[in-house]
Amino acid sequence: MTADHTASGGGNDDSLTIRSDWTAFDRPSTGVVLAVSEAVGRDPETLPVLNDRIDGDALDTVIAESGGDVEVSFSYAGTIVRVSSGGAVVVERDE
């Protein structure tokens, strides 16, 4: 299954924003890595290990099992990532 990605940038690649829905995947952390991969134009396997930046298991638990409205923001691989319990993953390049 793939996520529905939308990108906006107004013609300027430096301001690229990727919006995705992590619920298309088993875990929010998977959706994060794939959205960041798209934002920076790199294969997911060449990105830094997510767990070196944030505990992926904790992210999955807090976001997927919160029972309320939760949003987590962090920097990763040259981007700013926002993940919400509602399913949204928003990735902006951190230039």
1 in a structural domain: no
Q: What's the number of domains the chain is made of?
A: 1
Element (H, E) at 76: strand 71-76
Residue 41 falls within a domain, yes or no? Answer: yes
Q: Of 92 and 13, which is predicted with more confidence? A: 92
Residues 6+ apart with CB under 8 A from 12: none
Domain containing residue 30 = 6-93
Q: Given a cut of 70, is residue 7 above it in pLDDT?
A: no
The 10s digit of each residue's pLDDT in 38-85 is 999 999 999 999 999 999 999 999 999 988 899 999 999 999 999 999
Give the residue ranges of DSSP H helices in 8-92.
28-40, 56-64
